[in-house]
Amino acid sequence: MDMPTGGAGYGDLVQDDRVHTALYKDPAIFDEEMERIFKNTWVWVAHASEVPRKNTFRKSYVGKQPVIVTRDKEEKVHVLLNRCRHRAATVCEKKAGKTSVFVCPYHGWSYNLDGKLRSVPHQAVYGEGFDKDEFPLVSLRTEEYNGMIFATFRDDIEPLEEFLGAARKWIDLFMKQGAGYPVKTLGEHQFRFPGNWKIQLENTTDAYHFPIVHKTFLDSLDAETENVFDVLGQGGWVEDLGNGHSLMVMIPDLVDLEENLDAPIPERFAELAEELRAEGHSDHEVRRIVRAVGGGGFNLNLFPNVACSMAFFRVLRPVSVDETEIRHIAIGMDGGPEAGNRMRMRLHEHFQGPMGFGSPDDAEGWERVQRGSSAGDDLWILVNRGKEPLVGHAAGSNVTDVSAETGMRAAYQQWKRMMSA
């Protein structure tokens, strides 16, 4: 097939039930995606707890562009392009930290955390017409929903809340993992895989792969927990939430972590419950914390780059057409019992990250997709599973089987809208 060259032609590469393999392989398509998608929508950059106090910052990206997420001395959050206005050097190469000023290491221009140019060495030589107000760090439009900070290059698109739409309800449910405490990040696993970013995007609401790829994770669980992770057998579902976002409920019992608090405490949390009781937490608190520590029962995929996945944030960053960086950010209770957060970190280490029992197998699967996509000249990626809505399902009339590829179709339809706009 001849590769379309114009923007309108990209739409032909996405059909209702399949997408063309060129979407994984063509560098020209990747470059267009960085322009048409990542510079034209809300992109997740950080969680509010990563810039917890005034004068804190963390590095991030919007598409391929390096940014710094800051909280200024008035506690306002900014997303600034990480580039000195003088000669383009990055002004910050530290991952995260605390500072009241960014000083460009090349010629010493210095900036406040709100981006304002503070001072320029030997300014007089620029002449009297030099106005520092003309050269702040470039600031992106920034909005926050329930602790999730997003930025966009576009001043004229819809507000963040509107873009999130039906996903907001699920973000709110996800944040119940704080068990009444604010949610905070506890650290992160980072890894790269040699494959296109959309291969990972597809994965977060793909339950079909779970029992196959993650067999060794399931084998490492006790029988009770293994039953909980029988993700295809519990009446879960997948739902298109609009704007490319999708939801996969794998464990319906764990959708709302404030419900069913009277249920017996699972064996694997018995020791934690004991420890919390010994610390003086009431029975109700213990049950609420223990239930939250285990994580939620669903994955929420937010187009184009972040997911709220069971017990962590999953962030993707496109590096090149065939390279993608992934962050799995562990979350816990800010100010909550340390024993609970420790347990969450151990659970995170068990599945996530470069040496988890799950992530390496996911990454290998994604790499195999990229390698295999070199075979054949005009073949399509199938996303045709489970197109028919489930009849009479408690979650509504628009939901599909838990193993359906509805989430992928939702993302690719959004891709098509943005790439052919």
Partner 1 sequence: MSTSEMTREDVAAITLDEATTFIWREAEILDRQDYKAWLPLFTPDGLYVIPIERDTGDRAGELNIAYDDAEMRAMRVKRLKSGFSISSAPSARTVRTTSRFVIEQGKDNSAIVRCAQMLVEYKFERTRVVGADVTYRLVRGPEGLRMARKEVLLLNSDDPLWGVGYLF
The nearest distance, CB 215 to partner 1, in angstroms, is 5
Instruction: Decide whether 186 or 410 has the Cβ nearer to partner 1.
Output: 186
The nearest distance, CB 122 to partner 1, in angstroms, is 37
CB of 94 within 8 A of CB of 109?
no
The nearest distance, CB 362 to partner 1, in angstroms, is 8
The nearest distance, CB 358 to partner 1, in angstroms, is 10
Instruction: Decide whether 139 or 220 has the Cβ nearer to partner 1.
Output: 220
The nearest distance, CB 153 to partner 1, in angstroms, is 25
The nearest distance, CB 356 to partner 1, in angstroms, is 8
Instruction: Decide whether 216 or 260 has the Cβ nearer to partner 1.
Output: 216
Instruction: Decide whether 243 or 324 has the Cβ nearer to partner 1.
Output: 324
The nearest distance, CB 177 to partner 1, in angstroms, is 16
Instruction: Decide whether 76 or 368 has the Cβ nearer to partner 1.
Output: 368
Q: 304: cis peptide before it, omega within 30°?
A: yes
Sites of contact with partner 1 (CB under 8 A): 95, 186-193, 213, 215-217, 219-220, 325-326, 330, 338, 342, 345-346, 348-350, 353-355, 357, 359-365, 367-368, 371
Q: Tokens for 178?
A: 């704080």
Instruction: Decide whether 333 or 410 has the Cβ nearer to partner 1.
Output: 333
Q: 383-412 burial by CB neighbour count: b if 16+ within 10 A, else e?
A: bebbeebbeeeebeeebbbbbbbbbbbbbb
Instruction: Decide whether 109 or 191 has the Cβ nearer to partner 1.
Output: 191
Q: How far is CA 34 from CA 11, 28, 30, 61, 81, in A?
A: 16, 10, 6, 12, 16
The nearest distance, CB 296 to partner 1, in angstroms, is 19
The nearest distance, CB 208 to partner 1, in angstroms, is 15
Angle between the N-to-C axes of helices 406-419 and 27-36, in degrees from 0 to 180, rounded to the nearest 10: 80
Pairing relationship of beta strands 323-333 and 312-320 according to DSSP bridges = antiparallel
Instruction: Decide whether 175 or 218 has the Cβ nearer to partner 1.
Output: 218
Q: How far is CA 118 from CA 94, 112, 113, 121, in A?
A: 20, 6, 10, 10
Instruction: Decide whether 232 or 345 has the Cβ nearer to partner 1.
Output: 345
Instruction: Decide whether 201 or 330 has the Cβ nearer to partner 1.
Output: 330
Instruction: Decide whether 275 or 367 has the Cβ nearer to partner 1.
Output: 367
CB of 272 within 8 A of CB of 343?
yes
Residue with tokens 């989430």: 407
The nearest distance, CB 16 to partner 1, in angstroms, is 30
The nearest distance, CB 353 to partner 1, in angstroms, is 6
